Amino acid sequence: MHRLVIVGGGFGGINVARELKNNPDIDITLVDKRNFHLFQPLLYQVATGSLSPGEIAAPLRSVFRRSRNVRVLLGEAVDVDIQARKVILSDGELPYDTAVFASGSQNFYFGHDDWRKYATGLKTIEDATEIRGKILMAFEEAERELDPDRRRAWLTFLVVGAGPTGVELAGALGEIANDTLRNEFRSINPKDARILLLDGSPRMLPSYDASLSAAAEKQLISLGVRARNNVRVVGVDEHGVELDAPTGHERIESRTVIWAAGVMATPIGRKIAERVGIQTDRGGRILVAPDLTVPGHPELIVIGDLAAMSQDGHPLPGVAPVAMQQGRYAGRLIRKRLRNQNAPPPFRYFDKGSLAVIGRASAVAQFGSLTVHGLVAWLLWLFIHLMYIVQFHNRVLIFIQWGFEYLTYNRGARLITSPDEMEPPPRPAP
Amino acid sequence: MHRLVIVGGGFGGINVARELKNNPDIDITLVDKRNFHLFQPLLYQVATGSLSPGEIAAPLRSVFRRSRNVRVLLGEAVDVDIQARKVILSDGELPYDTAVFASGSQNFYFGHDDWRKYATGLKTIEDATEIRGKILMAFEEAERELDPDRRRAWLTFLVVGAGPTGVELAGALGEIANDTLRNEFRSINPKDARILLLDGSPRMLPSYDASLSAAAEKQLISLGVRARNNVRVVGVDEHGVELDAPTGHERIESRTVIWAAGVMATPIGRKIAERVGIQTDRGGRILVAPDLTVPGHPELIVIGDLAAMSQDGHPLPGVAPVAMQQGRYAGRLIRKRLRNQNAPPPFRYFDKGSLAVIGRASAVAQFGSLTVHGLVAWLLWLFIHLMYIVQFHNRVLIFIQWGFEYLTYNRGARLITSPDEMEPPPRPAP
């Protein structure tokens, strides 16, 4: 029995396990600190009240219930013992013959960890429900606020980072202000909300074609979102954000700041590098060999956001399709080795295209040099996302949620929830 | 303009507002500490992973978006100023001409508030997700536990209180252990879970006909649930429960204790009583006049779980239909008064019947002296609950969730979530 330990049940990890699930000679342990696989590309929809957490998550045990050679374990991998070949958990250890690390990335505040509590990032279900609560609570506070300046601060929403996640969040915020909350308040008009999308680049969606950046900006403007390009966030506090703009220093008062600006690899990346005596890149990622192994350690494989790899002179992006393809590749590599077959050719990412949704019937898409925007891009986005959702179960539910939202402009999952069991969410100090 | 303040957006409160929503001469403020109406009878389905929180909650603003004379306010009513006619909020006040109090009940531990942290009750969405996490985590811990005694404690689930909520929770736990988790674990068999339903009464569902108690017990036994009647919980700690049983003192080791035993009125009940100089009953409820007003104060109306009222010598139960009928009655009463019409006859509860679901195609129902159990009762339960859900939107979603669950035995919303944003749920000390 070949013992394979997979760290992380995201897009990378589950694809390794799926590729090998019918191989009784491989004993797979999939370890994750959460009990579910999360469909990360739809997380912003939880943050903006369209979907419920359960609709974008699939219990890992349920995904692998029929795979008798796959064992799911709830635990956190914190280190690796290269000599003894053991993955060290926070409360145990797992011996391996091959280990795949696929624990992904986490929010990164460019060294300003104190910004974290004012500018929630969007990586976990808890992040998403926290952002959802903050957005809804801001409108509630504005409704009750009599002072016009403070009311304006409650109605100002800042999204930091104009990559796909930032654009999708800003677009959804625009829809909430313009459509979802229409007629629901008596003292404020939710349309008065000011939504700013801040980025240091000269244009939003810098990884897309410039024509799509322009199209996205136009679509966002129609939703009331204003893009502020070429600005750098130099401070975040309870009451707003400090910016370095081309026109000089600036302060924007806002009670709701959402962080979509940076991620870095999970800490296990640096641990692995330390143990094998190599360096990570600046984002904490392992520079992997062309077959995704750690240089000099064929028994260690690193995939997804935890791996750094270049292709045709460009670094591979930290997106789900890269992790999925790397996961399947890693599975094939392990199987071929065990069967003493020829190793597969070096990993190559096949870019099927990029998509970012902006709002109702509005999205941008890029397939190689082909660009599409508007309704066609949105339909493509819809189709692809529904197809990729892991469990058929959720796919139908999401389709219905979206159908109703499209028809009624309503969002079903608008709950302000709080970790504290007896209390309502704390009201921030004025 | 007649100023009506309604405290609480549960079944009672929203029915007052709905009854009066087309009366432009009544200015309604509905104040709740949560931003959503919760469909409480399905809360146990969130606690047991069948439904997501968003599916049993409707944003209050959305419910009343088209009712221009209804204003929704997020806030907590903490007191009332009878002379000045103001409801006192934790951060403000609301003047009224008439005030309706409908803030319901909360968990009650018979004076043992220290039990609360080991025995989660089921009143809020947060309670439900906490219970869900505890149940799922217990199986995860059992899977990793090597010591047989500790493993048994992880696989022992105690439900305290065998009223409808306790029976429904125990039944759902039985299904989770027998069906949902089948094949998902490699070291344990979830069927080995021991589920005990504890109650001080000689039989479960004491408010139902004895034949239904017997039917429910039989159905629960087939799901692996064992009823322990005539036992009194005298202690709850981190590792289990102390019981006074007919056979003497007993201790049961368990890591998952769910509290379905007692509720009491929210604290505003005692405040009102104090301000008007009357006594509450032992559960903190206001003994209301036959027209639901506070004796001597026609401008104060108390409904739902906050009100104590007897009918034909029996106290009205703390269930949704009572609150709904009282809410509609209160609305009519207020309207007739304003129009100087004759007051309606004293409130009478029309009991349409009681239903408790036990599991797949299995429930008990009582309509007056008519009793039904098994599939017919379950279909009735299904129909009635789908019809009552406030938003059409959710109704379809829930129907589909249930349909899939029925066909696949799977539960879609099995997430262990945690309030702490960066960490997985804490693992309890061994």
Q: Which residues of B touch A47 (CB under 8 A)?
A: none
B404 in contact with A at a CB cutoff of 8 Å? yes
8 Å CB contact between A97 and A56: no
Confidence of residue B418 (pLDDT cuts 50, 70, 90): low
CB B307 within 8 A of CB B345: no
The reply to whether residue B66 touches residue A183, judged by beta carbons under 8 angstroms, is yes
Distance of CA B239 to the CA centre of its chain: 26
pLDDT of residue A359: 85
Please state whether beta strands B194-198 and B225-228 pair in parallel, antiparallel, or not at all (unpaired). parallel
List all residues of chain B from 175 to 234 with a beta carbon under 8 Å from chain A. 181-186
Total H helices, total E strands in chain B: 11, 28
Which residues in chain B touch residue A183, judged by CB atoms under 8 angstroms apart? 65-66
> How sure is the predictor about B300, in pLDDT bands with cuts at 50, 70 and 90?
very high
β-pair type (A194-198, A310-311): unpaired
pLDDT of residue A299: 97
A247-259 per-position pLDDT tens digit? 999 999 999 999 9
- Amino acid identity at A408: T
CA distance B174 to chain A (A): 18
DSSP state of A249: E
Distance CA A282, CA A12 (A): 21
Q: Is B49 in contact with B414 (CB distance < 8 Å)?
A: yes
The 10 Å CB-count burial string (b at 16+, else e) for A8-40 is bbbbbbbbbbbbbbebeebbbbbbbbbbbbbbb
Q: Write down the pLDDT at residue A422.
A: 34
DSSP 8-state secondary structure symbol assigned to residue A419? S
What pLDDT was estimated at residue A430?
39
* pLDDT (tens digit per residue) in A153-210: 999 999 999 999 999 999 999 999 998 898 899 999 999 999 999 999 999 999 899 9
User: SS3 of B92, please?
Assistant: strand
With CB atoms and an 8 Å threshold, state whether A130 touches B421: yes
Whether residue B414 is predicted with pLDDT greater than 90 in this model: the reply is: no
Interface-testing mutation among A45, A393, A398, A407, with chain B (most B C-beta atoms within 10 A): A393
Structure tokens at B384: 């009635």
- A70 has pLDDT over 70: yes
- A182/B417 Cβ within 8 A: no
Catalytic position from the list A19, A55, A141, A168? A168
Residue of A71, A104, A72, A78 lying closest to A92 (CA atoms): A78
pLDDT at A313: 93
More confident residue, A428 or B227: B227
C-alpha A99/C-alpha A80 separation (Å) is 9
Q: What is the DSSP letter of B285?
A: -
Give the SS3 label for residue B356.
strand
B424 in helix, strand or coil? coil
Query: pLDDT-based confidence at A382, cuts 50/70/90?
Result: confident
Please state, rounded to an integer, the average pLDDT across all residues of chain B: 91
pTM: 0.89
Find, among A113, A114, A112, A82, the residue nearest to A96 by Cα: A82
> With a CB-CB cutoff of 8 Å, which residues 91-150 of chain A face chain B?
91-92, 106, 120, 124-127, 129-130, 136-137, 140, 143-144
**Residue B112: CB partners within 8 Å, gap ≥ 6?**
B236
Asked if the model's pLDDT at residue A385 lies above 90, the reply is no
Q: How far is B312 from chain A (nearest CA, A)?
A: 35
Residue B299 has pLDDT above 90, yes or no: yes
CA A178, CA A228: separation in Å to the nearest integer?
Answer: 20
d(CA B17, CA B6) in angstroms, rounded, equals 8
Of B34, B36, B416, the CB nearest to A35: B416
Bridge partner residues of B222 (DSSP): none
Examine the pLDDT at B394 and tell me if it is beyond 70. no
3-state secondary structure (DSSP) of residue B118 = coil
The least confident of A116-120, A316-320, B256-260, B410-414 is B410-414
Structure tokens at B349: 């509860």
Q: Is the pLDDT of residue A426 over 60?
A: no
Model confidence pLDDT, tens digit, residues B195-224: 999 999 999 999 899 999 999 999 999 999
Per mean pLDDT, which range of A184-198, B36-50, B235-249, B394-408 is the poorest? B394-408
A71/B contact by beta carbon, under 8 A:
yes
Asked if B305 and B287 count as a contact pair (C-beta separation under 8 A), the reply is no
Please indicate if any CB of chain A lies within 8 Å of the CB of B343: no
Report the Cα B70 to chain-centroid distance in Å. Answer: 26
Shortest Cα distance from A397 to chain B (angstroms)?
7
Please state, in angstroms and rounded to a whole number, the distance separating the CA atoms of residues B44 and B131: 9
A34: nearest CB among B412, B416, B420? B416
Structure confidence at residue B57 (pLDDT) = 86
Q: What is the mean pLDDT of chain A?
A: 91
Rounded-to-integer distance, Cα A47 and Cα A127, Å: 8
Give A214→chain B minimum CA distance, Å.
34
Tokens representing A312?
């045709």
Closest CA to A39 of A100, A105, A124, A103: A124
Q: Which long-range contacts (CB under 8 A, 24 or more apart) does B152-156 make?
A: B152/B194, B152/B253, B153/B239, B153/B240, B153/B253, B153/B254, B153/B255, B154/B255, B154/B256, B155/B188, B155/B192, B155/B193, B155/B194, B156/B193, B156/B194, B156/B196, B156/B240, B156/B252, B156/B253, B156/B254, B156/B255, B156/B256
Spatial neighbors of B258 by CB under 8 A, at least 6 apart, are B47, B119, B120, B121, B122, B131, B157, B158, B159, B160, B166, B169
Determine contact, residues A410/B393, Cβ cutoff 8 Å: yes
Question: CA dist A41 to A286, B177, B210, B211, B267, Å?
Answer: 23, 32, 53, 52, 43
Residue ranges of E strands in A266-352 = 286-287, 293-294, 297-302, 307-308, 310-311, 314-315
Nearest CB neighbour to B52, from listed A52, A71, A400: A52
B408 shares contact with chain A (CB less than 8 Å)? yes
Residue B199 C-alpha, separation from nearest chain A C-alpha, in angstroms:
25
Looking at the complex, report in whole angstroms how far the Cα of residue A245 sits from the nearest Cα belonging to chain B. Answer: 31
Smallest Cα–Cα separation from B255: which of B229, B228, B237, B242?
B237
- Percent of chain B beyond pLDDT 70? 92
Residues B305, B309, B313, CA angle at the centre, nearest 5°?
A: 130
Closest C-alpha to A409, from B259, B65, B4, B150:
B65
On the question of pLDDT at B424 being above 50, the answer is: no
Interchain contact A72–B (C-beta under 8 A): yes
Say whether pLDDT at A28 is over 80: yes
pLDDT for residue B241: 97
- Give tens-digit pLDDT for B262-278: 899 999 999 999 999 99
pLDDT category, B426, cuts 50, 70, 90?
very low
pLDDT value of position B409: 67
User: Of the ranges A19-28, A82-91, A400-409, B137-146, which one carries the lowest mean pLDDT score?
Assistant: A400-409
* Residues of A in Cβ contact (< 8 Å) with B34: 416, 424
Minimal Cα distance from A405: which residue of B? B393
Query: What is d(CA A10, CA A31) in angstroms, rounded to the nearest whole number?
Result: 11
A118-132, A398-412, A415-429: which is most confident? A118-132
Angle between helices B320-338 and B11-20 (to 10 degrees): 30
Give yes or no: A168 in active site.
Answer: yes
**What integer is the mean pLDDT of A308-323?**
94
Q: Which chain A residues are within 8 Å of B420, Cβ to Cβ?
A: 126, 419
Which tokens in the block code for residue A215? 């199209």
Confidence of residue B404 (pLDDT cuts 50, 70, 90): low
Could you identify the residue written with the tokens 């000689």?
B202
* Active site positions of B, annotated: 168
Compute and round to an integer the Cα radius of gyration of chain A. 22
| Percent of chain B predicted with pLDDT > 90 | 78
Measure CA of the first residue to CA of the last residue in chain B; give whole Å. Answer: 62
- Sort out which chain B residues have CB atoms less than 8 A from A417's CB and list them: 53, 125-126, 129
A314 at B interface, C-beta within 8 A: no
The stretch A76-86 carries a mean pLDDT of 97
Which position has the token pair 């590098």? A273
